[in-house]
Structure 1
């Protein structure tokens, strides 16, 4: 008979061997990661692999999507510095894991997904998280009905198309995102000030580009 997997043990190992060793030091963030069952947000045949530090394929979508690694996601959250009173928008929420974790930190979370099948899956998986509202729409357009946001976290990479999201930031709001592809990609945080939105490098990171954030193809004669 196959032994049962102790996911709580795997979750603690993820925190100790992946998050803490990669400079994720905020105790509120660490507690949030410990409070959410990552195995409930991955494909059924990937549950036992839910806590390894790789991008997990997202089940059920019309296009190939991935879930950020625990380390990259945790560092993005720490870069965004969410507070308990903050209103957060997660762009590219897929099955809802990132929104679930942020719901343990912030006051409220809007989980935006463009793929209808993934959005439906997220609604089911997030039903027990009372301060999360799953919504469906194009990712680069954000969710203006809930704006302005104190934190916007993009759960994937972008090559272009951030202007609308920047416009949905509150004063002093932070937008945490992975920009670029491959070895040239990095995590950046944008902060809205009185007169402009400024950018600050966070750390080296890469992920799959989310739908709608691809760089326009150049016209070649």
Structure 2
């Protein structure tokens, strides 16, 4: 077993399984996708530490626990279409691609988006495509989506994103309030959103997902 493969097993055994993530497809995806290839070269040695890994300003690879628990709560099915916002270098898209039928990954940082598409292609992930666009715009031409995931924190969820969720679909994100965050799953039923908190987590707020600052004297 290679050193990185051993680290993947350690990541799953120490960060994912103890967090009550038991769905085999998620465990299998986390054991299979080489996290170290989806981070900048100078961060490869840190790829498996149990915290968010910075990629670019305001962009991280979510810690394995957060991503795994979010996917566990979303319960992505093999026939589903998933929108992955803020995909960075594509790690989340590669993991979700092993659970879903197709992943549309959106990244507004053009350099990250280009690298993500290249790495996904090199890794043979042929059911994920990277779209360069503002995260708040999503990828409406492929909507509606069964599931929407966000690879970072949000303070507010724009209607432009919720509009791309299929009725009966679900969305998962880490809602930040200052330095404290809660991962929530949103369910769209008859056009209305219902949110359920699932666990505590933290991540930098993605561009376009901050609350508008109120004017104060």
- Do both share a fold (TM > 0.5)? yes
CA distance in 1: counterparts of 2:105 and 2:208, whole angstroms: 16
Match of 1:199 in 2: 195
* Aligned partners of 2:58 and 2:206 also within 8 Å: no
Match of 1:70 in 2: 64
Q: Does 2:84 correspond to 1:90?
A: yes
The alignment's TM-score, normalised by the length of structure 2, stands at 0.95
Q: Does 2:53 correspond to 1:56?
A: yes
Spell out, residue by residue over 1:137-193, the C-alpha distance to the aligned partner (whole angstroms, 9 max, x if none): 111111101100001000000112432211111121110001123454200111111
Within 5 Å, which residues of 2 pair with 1:1-221?
6-58=3-55, 61=56, 63-127=57-121, 128-221=124-217
* Aligned partners of 1:181 and 1:208 also within 8 Å: no
Which stretches of structure 1, 4 residues or longer, exceed 6 Å deviation after superposition?
none
Shift of residue 34 of structure 1? 1.0
Shift of residue 195 of structure 1? 4.4
Secondary structure (helix, strand or coil) at the match of 1:31 reads: helix
What is the total number of aligned residue pairs between the two structures?
215
Alpha carbons of 1:151 and 1:195: their partners in 2 closer, same or farther (altered >3 Å)? closer
Superposed CA RMSD in Å reads 1.5
Higher strand share: 2
Secondary structure (helix, strand or coil) at the match of 2:16 reads: helix
The gaps in structure 1 that reach 5 residues or longer are none
The alignment's TM-score, normalised by the length of structure 1, stands at 0.93
Spell out, residue by residue over 1:40-73, the C-alpha distance to the aligned partner (whole angstroms, 9 max, x if none): 0112122122111011111xx4x34221101011
* Aligned partners of 1:43 and 1:57 also within 8 Å: no
The gaps in structure 2 that reach 5 residues or longer are none
Secondary structure (helix, strand or coil) at the match of 1:160 reads: coil
Alpha carbons of 1:116 and 1:54: their partners in 2 closer, same or farther (altered >3 Å)? same
* Aligned partners of 1:179 and 1:187 also within 8 Å: yes
* Aligned partners of 1:159 and 1:214 also within 8 Å: yes
CA distance in 2: counterparts of 1:13 and 1:166, whole angstroms: 36
